[in-house]
Every structure is written in structure tokens, then in C-alpha cells.
Amino acid sequence: MSDVILVGGGVMGAATACFLARDHGATVTVVERDPSYAQASSSLSLSSIRQQFSQPVNMALSRWSVEFLRRAADELATTDDRPALGLVEPGYLYLATAAGAPLLRELHGVQRAEGVDVALLTPAELSARFPWLATGDLALGSLGLSGEGWFDGPALHRAFRRKAQACGVRFVSGEAVGFDVAADRVTAVRCADGRVIGGDAFAITAGAWSAPLGDALGFTLPVTARKRDVFVLETPAALPGCPLVIDPSGFWFRTEGALILAGGPPRGEDACDAPLHDIDHGLFEDLLWPTLAARVPALEALRVRSAWAGYYEMNDFDHNGLAGALPGYANAYTACGFSGHGMQQSPAVGWSLARLIAGQDAPLIEALAPQRLLDGRRLVEANVI
Ligand SMILES: Cc1cc2nc3c(=O)[nH]c(=O)nc-3n(C[C@H](O)[C@H](O)[C@H](O)COP(=O)(O)OP(=O)(O)OC[C@H]3O[C@@H](n4cnc5c(N)ncnc54)[C@H](O)[C@@H]3O)c2cc1C
């Protein structure tokens, strides 16, 4: 099979490269400008996985992916490594006041119809199951009973890279700045240092930085970098069975060993490209901590141990991934714009995009085809965290 060039070696590029080489025998080169991946979303992710979406395509991708994660040690084994991804499945718990309960019920109907293992809980049932949770203002909760939780995302990214390399994929250091094109075919990627890397098929897998590469091919990818802060908290409180809790305010928290991770939507304008070192500590002091302490009174006693930020690769068109062929080209593809749910979907998307590039069908990602941008067909995801 042909030479495939992927631009961007985060989890999307690494997964696609891995499946192309492992399953289709492709010769693959990944062009990555920062082999340390220091600012890649894949290094800064919360790495949680859920089935509770509003769009069936997202439920299907996350279902496929959680099944893959459960057997990843076999799927991604190399001669000297069986990757341990630390997958746990305590569920996601969406909480609603009376105002939010109708939407929760509606989404529950859609999710059950798609076979998602999810249950609606009354406040009394919530209290019985999670005695540490304040439920006085709540009308309903939606708890994932299986297939939801979290894992070690950077370990998944590493495992895809290692497996890819074991299958012959080349990761080269370089910044792609443009492409050579002949009629409807891309023939080469051009790097900032003057190198020109030719191939038979090309994919943009550059996360939050995919838009300039789309521009270089004359195709607008409406993907922008949106900073999200994550706070790492220490507390003497124990929260047995704690799922990833989504408060009605939009704030979320989950455990990570003995620690708690928490965050939420940014304050003020959701600025593009805000610097990653610019953590909004006021967000925690003024809003997040009071909300957490009201929801879990035991969290009145806590200390911020550290904080980090990363970029969501936000698809401003409809907050869903763009995966598939780039319209106008016979041999150009992308997987970008996953808007905060790309880590968990990378196994299914990488597997599907590899099939598509190899000339096979890829029904799992059909709904995510970039063609919908041209058709004005929005696939709006209501559950974006
Ligand atoms: C704080 C935070 C929490 C998150 N939580 C979750 C979660 O709980 N669950 C979930 O599923 N997802 C989550 N995400 C989203 C998830 O991490 C991303 O969707 C996923 O990592 C995107 O992977 P990617 O490979 O597309 O992008 P990236 O990991 O950003 O990789 C893109 C790569 O492309 C390279 N690149 C860019 N431009 C060029 C160029 N011109 N030439 C060469 N290389 C280039 C970059 O250096 C980078 O390494 C979270 C993200 C953040 C920031």
C-alpha cells in the first residue's frame, strides 16, 4: 500500500499512523514539530471517557473506544511492552436542577435508544448512593453504569506511538508550513526548514493548530485553540465511588487516586490562544471552590496542590470532530476539532480514518465528514464539557 504522510503526532495522528501500519501495511511518516509534545492537548488532557453524549455518532465512537481501551494491552503490545492504561469505570454523573431535568430526561431517551448503559436517579437515590453529595437543590441525576470513567491518556498516546514505530512508522521532527498540489491531489508537504516530503495520501492531524494547514490547502477548518484550566486538589475527605461529576453550574470534578481534579468553563470571553501559563486562579477561588463546597460539604477543607492548562481544539462550527476526506481533494484527509472529547475517541477515529485512507468503508466516522462544513449541516453536541 501507498506512502501516507500525517501532519501532527498527537494521539489522533499516532492512532491513525498505528492502524495504517498495523492493519493495512502502509508506509507512514508522521511530521511532528515538537517531539516533546509539551503543549499538545494529548499531554494535557483529563483523559476521561463517557457515553453520555447527545449525538449517536459520539456514543458509537466512545463505545468502540472503551472496548478497545479494555483490551489495549493486547492490541498495542510490542515485543518489549504491554501498555498499562489504568482504565477505571466509575461513570459520569450529570446533575440537574428542576430547570435542567427535562433536557436530562430527553438525552436519557436518546442514549437508551442507542444502548447506552445509563440510569436516571432521584435525589433520594443519589443520596443513598453518594452520601457525600448535597442534593437539596437537585431534581435528577444521570449516572453511567459502565463504559465511562478515565484512563492514562499520555500512556495511550505513547502506546500508539510505540506500536506505530514497531510497525515501521517514521516520526520525523519538522514543522509543516504548506503543501504541493497538482490538480486534485496533494503531492508533498513542505516543512519550515525547506524539506519537501512527498507521498500518496496526506492527513492533517494537528489538533488545535490544524486551521493554518487547512488554509494552505484552501479549505477552512474552523478549529481554534481554547485554553482550559485544571486544578489539582488535596483534601482529607474521602469520596467513595466518586464518578466524574458534572454540576448543574457546568463545573466538574473527579478523583485521581487520593487527589481531586476539578475545572469548568472559563470566565469571561473564551479567548483563542490564551497562553497556557496564564492559569485563572481567581476562577478557582471565586467560583469553583464555593461551588464544590456547596455540592460536597466535605470539600470545604481542601488545598490547591497545583494546576495546569491545555488547549481544547474547538470546532467552532458545531463542537464535534471533523474526520474524513477533505472536500476538493482525492487524497487529503483530516481528524481534528474534537472539542474536548478527542482523547477518548482517538482509538475509534484513528482506526476508521486508517480504513478510509486505505480505501475501505468507515461508517463510524461518516457523520463527522468535513463535507458538512460546506453543506452547512451542523451536528451540534449538547453535552460539551
Ligand atoms: C484540559 C483538557 C482536558 C481534556 N479532557 C479530555 C477528556 O476528559 N476526554 C477526552 O476525550 N478529551 C479530553 N481533552 C481533549 C483531548 O485531549 C484532545 O481532543 C486530543 O488530545 C486531541 O489530540 P490531537 O492529536 O488532535 O491534538 P494534539 O495532541 O494537540 O496533537 C497535535 C500535534 O500536532 C503538532 N502540530 C501542530 N501543528 C503542526 C505543524 N504545522 N507541523 C507539524 N506538527 C504540528 C503539535 O505539535 C501537536 O503535537 C482535553 C483537553 C484538554 C486541553
pLDDT digits 0-9 by tens, 212-242: 999 999 999 999 999 999 999 999 999 999 9
Residue 270: pLDDT over 80: no
In total, the chain counts a number of residues equal to: 385
Ligand 1: centre distance to CA 312 (Å)? 7
**Can you read off the three cell numbers belonging to residue 161?**
506511538
Grid coordinates standing for 60? 458509537
Please, where are the H alpha helices in 287-380?
Answer: 289-295, 342-357, 371-375
Atom 24, ligand 1: which residue's CA is nearest?
A: 207
**Of residues 1 and 309, more confidently modeled:** 309
Question: What residues does 133 pair with on adjacent strands?
Answer: none
Specify the pLDDT at position 321. Answer: 97
Q: How far is the CA of 23 from the centre of ligand 1 (A)?
A: 24
Q: Looking up cell 487516586, which residue turns up? A: 257
What pLDDT shows up at residue 1?
56
| Rounded CA separation 287/199 (Å) | 51
Beta bridge partners of 310: 228
Could you please state the CATH topology (level 3) that the domain comprising 3-82+152-222+317-375 is classified under: FAD/NAD(P)-binding domain (3.50.50)
pLDDT at residue 79 tops 90 = yes
Of ligand 1's atoms, which has the minimum distance to the CA of residue 48? 8
Please state the pTM of the whole predicted model.
0.97
- 158 alpha carbon – ligand 1 mean position (Å): 13
Return the ligand 1 atom nearest residue 213 CA: 41
Do 151 and 47 touch, CB atoms closer than 8 A? yes
- Rounded Cα distance between 92 and 110, Å, is 17
Residues with a CB atom less than 6 Å from ligand 1: 7-13, 31-34, 37, 40-42, 44-48, 175-176, 205-209, 213, 228, 230, 310-313, 336, 338, 340-344
Rounded to an integer, what distance in angstroms lies between the CA atom of residue 111 and that of residue 74? 30
Neighbours of 152 (CB within 10 A): 15
Residue ranges of the chain assigned to CATH 3.50.50.60: 3-82+152-222+317-375
Q: Which residues contact 24 (CB under 8 A, 6 or more apart)?
A: 1, 354, 355, 357, 358
Rg of the chain (C-alpha set):
21
The pLDDT tens digits of the residues spanning 197-212 come to 999 999 999 999 999 9
For the cut 70, the answer to whether the pLDDT of residue 119 exceeds it is yes
